[in-house]
Amino acid sequence: MRVVDELEHRAARHTARRADDDSHQDVRTVGFLGALPPEVQDSLSRDTHRVDYAPGSRVRDPGSAPKPGVIIDGLVRAFVAAASGREATVSYAVSGDVIGIGASLVDGSPLGLQALEKTTIEYFDAEIFGEALDKEIAVTRLVAELLALSLERSSNAMRAIAFGRVRQRVAEHLILLADRDYDGSLVVRITQQGLADAVGSVRDVVARTLAELSSEGIVTRSHGRVTVLDEAALRRDASAP
């Protein structure tokens, strides 16, 4: 799957989830569990616990042990971090996406997780989830498919970071993070440093890229905010070979 296709797909799901605005729904109706037989849903739904995260807060630090769960509401980024503190976003997760599903297979994950907006995650009981992974073929198959998709996304992201142009990466992330404002305009609420962390670059380079996009009439900038003026042009930049 092309990176921009994946971003558009996730952006559509994210927008639809915002429209619903119901973080109290049954976890069995959200994403991962909805694809499993009812008896497996009931088993995995036992002894879950729900955690709310404020915007900008860390869900998991790089290197820490992952915990299996499903995002009920919100937006989470998965990122890698260097010893220098520089970060790069590998993927995004929205309502219905699962996190930490390989928890019983690894001791720690190199990926950190950060909530980009108010986020609610329902965590499964690790022992119950591990047993289901061992005994339920439906769970094993679904987890294998999701891990394969995660690997594909991560490979696409790392290829873009290693070989892609910064402008293309900036456009990709702006497409995903954009939301309709009250007046209908397409707005991304993010700082230049936050965008630099997302694309795996530095603030000065991202600032120059935004200046280029602004001079071409594609976006306008203000403090902590980017407004998209020409969505079609931004999508062309995101999908450039």
Task: Look at the pTM and tell me if it is higher than 0.85.
Answer: no
Residue 52: domain span: 3-162
Same domain, 176 and 150: no
Class of residue 41 by CB neighbours under 10 A (exposed 0-12, middle 13-18, buried 19+): middle
Q: Which of these three, 162, 186, 211, is where a domain ends?
A: 162
Both structure tokens of 193: 């440093």
Q: Which of these three, 127, 162, 197, is where a domain ends?
A: 162
- Read off the CATH number of the domain in which 185 is found: 1.10.10.10
Q: How far apart are CA 45 and CA 57, in angstroms?
A: 26
Please report which confidence band the pLDDT of residue 5 belongs to, taking 50, 70 and 90 as the band edges.
very low
pLDDT of residue 103: 65
- pLDDT tens-digit profile of 70-127? 999 888 999 988 888 888 888 888 888 889 887 667 777 888 999 988 999 999 998 9
- pLDDT tens-digit profile of 169-178? 899 889 888 8
Same domain, 141 and 24: yes
Pick the more confident residue, 32 or 207.
Answer: 207
- pLDDT tens-digit profile of 54-68? 989 999 998 888 899
Same domain, 117 and 224: no
Same domain, 80 and 64: yes
Pick the more confident residue, 233 or 152.
Answer: 233
Same domain, 171 and 141: no
- pLDDT tens-digit profile of 12-29? 555 554 445 554 556 556
| Average pLDDT over the chain, rounded to an integer | 83
- Read off the CATH number of the domain in which 121 is found: 2.60.120.10
Q: Is the pLDDT of residue 6 over 50?
A: no
Q: How many domains are there within the chain?
A: 2
